[in-house]
Chain A
Amino acid sequence: MQDAVTTMIPVGEVPDRPQARDGLRLVLRNVFPFLVVGAIWEIVAWAGVFPRRLFPTLEEVASTFVQLTVAGILPHHAIDTVIRLLSGFALAAIIGVTIGVLMGRSRRAEDICLPLVSICAPIPGLAYAPLFLLWFGLGDSGSIVLVGFVALFPVVLNTWTGVKAVKEIWLRAAQTMGADDRRLFRHVILPGAAPYILTGLRLGLAQAWRILVAVEMLAAVPWGLGWLIFGAREFLNTDAMLAGIAMIGILGLALENLVFRPIERYTVVRWGMIAA
């Protein structure tokens, strides 16, 4: 529920910082902090504060990363994780938008669904994990259903808010101009609610992403980044764990920059619902 409210907090004008003209300087400026942190890491690793096995140097992590990638192990784990994420998320998106729109348009659906959603939403998704694993079994089915279930709530709540936030006057104007229900939905309600729906999808995907790694640790799936990290613990392969975490970070950044930014640009910004 909070997710929906968050997006409505009045945002003041955030002053744009002047862009650095020199591209190279920009790159250097962004790389510099990582160099500093990397140097500190190296010092700690070489100083032997932790046993070397538990706190490998960055060269070791990098070489493990390259080795695992070349051997195809890391990509295999990553692909399985992404497939699981996308199937759970697709489940949540389809069901969530449908329920959300129904709740926004029909009073009865709202009365039935809202209390249930507001009871289930605040419980942390992972708390359901053992229960879902018992009901749906270890492995893929349990983890996908759980991820979908967790991602469902932000989608439902934001879609519902968005549909309710469509201006009454647009609906009436469209109806006066003779739009039937289907066209009203496609051309007025959907674009009007789109910024909220997208926010919901985005929050849902982020939520699914955060949960999925942990679910993979618990659900004993044969492949997956969460499992890679957790399994490496048994053999004290800290370098493999850190390589897996690096991969998770890269995937997370890619999701944000390659999936959501473009979607937002092509839909909401183009329809003029929010400023670019």
Chain B
Amino acid sequence: MKALLSILVAVILYELLARSGWFAAALVPTLPTIARTLWGMLGDGSMERHALNTLARVFAGLAAAALTGLVLGFLMARYRAVERFFSPLVSALMPIPSLAWAPVFILWFGLGNVATVLIVFYAATFPMLINTWTGARAVNTLWLRAARSMGARGPALFWKVVVPGASPFIITGLRLAFQRAWIAVVGAEMLAASAFGLGWVIFDAKEFLNADVMLSSLVVIGAIGLAFERLVFGSLERATVLRWGMVRAGRT
């Protein structure tokens, strides 16, 4: 209720600002204009097409990143040699923002999907990797010993003890990876996409001073991000970590 009130106040302030005429109407469109543009773009299917393109890119990059992060993370936690080889590389590459690679990837692979997906992949891999690695190392040694003394070996130990034990970290890693990927995809599309994509729309609209198009894409980007955060990761957490009793409910 109070939340609604505060949003309402912000909305009214914005509307007053837009109508006051202090700024050019092209730069600060009124809310009805934005709503009409959004409705129009949803109506002719162009917004859906942009959103689907963006989502496809995010998922391609995220899937590759999750796979790489999980496999490498578990290997690094399990084998000292793997850890020694990869951890210096990870700490050297991690501080480089994925978007810094954008021009290089564009030169190598051209404008378009390959460069975009690679940028997303680079952004999402590290949180996944670091969290899996930390999580697998943080599994309580007592559990490992207990499972071993009860005769668990190899695969059973891994699937029944290590994976559930590391799962809170892994889910957090996946969440962070999605956030990073979502940021990266918007930037990557601005720089590297040739056509279609929410980031591309925003950037393209800048050329024509279509602030209403920019703001409506912003709304869609925010809505999709929020929906994933709440619905997908929330239910993923309930289905795995909470059911296995790794963290208590009500914390998030």
Contact = CB atoms under 8 A, between A and B. Distances in A.
Interface in A27-41: 29-34, 36-37
A255 B100 contact: no
Contact of A13 (B6, B85, B138, B175): B138
B47 interface: no
Given A50-B108, A130-B214, A210-B97, A249 B92 contact: yes
Contacts, number: 190
B172 A55 contact: no
A166 interface: no
B95 A256 contact: yes
Interface in B191-227: 191, 198-199, 202-203, 205-206, 209, 211, 214-215, 217-218, 221-222, 225-226
B10 A130 contact: no
Contacts of B3: 111, 114-115
A2 B229 contact: yes
A253 B137 CA distance: 24
B88 interface: yes
B84 interface: yes
Given A210-B97, A253-B95, A10 B214 contact: no
Contacts of B128: none
Nearest to A20: B84
Given A6-B172, A130-B206, A253-B95, A33 B89 contact: yes
| Interface of B, helix, strand, loop or mixed by DSSP | helix
B88 A34 contact: yes
A143 interface: no
A55 B96 CA distance: 19
Contact of B88 (A33, A211, A212, A232): A33
B6 A127 contact: no
Interface string B97-118: 1111111101110000000000
Contacts of B23: 135
Interface residues of B, number: 72
Contact of B102 (A13, A210, A217, A252): A217
Contact of A9 (B99, B169, B182, B211): B169
Interface of A: 1-2, 5-6, 8-15, 29-34, 36-37, 50, 54-55, 111-116, 119-120, 122-131, 133-135, 209-214, 217-218, 225-226, 229-230, 232-233, 236, 238, 241-242, 244-245, 248-249, 251-253, 255-256
25 contacts: A2-B176, A9-B169, A10-B168, A13-B138, A14-B138, A34-B92, A113-B6, A114-B3, A115-B6, A124-B185, A124-B187, A124-B221, A126-B183, A128-B218, A129-B187, A131-B215, A134-B211, A210-B98, A211-B97, A214-B190, A218-B191, A238-B104, A242-B104, A249-B92, A253-B91
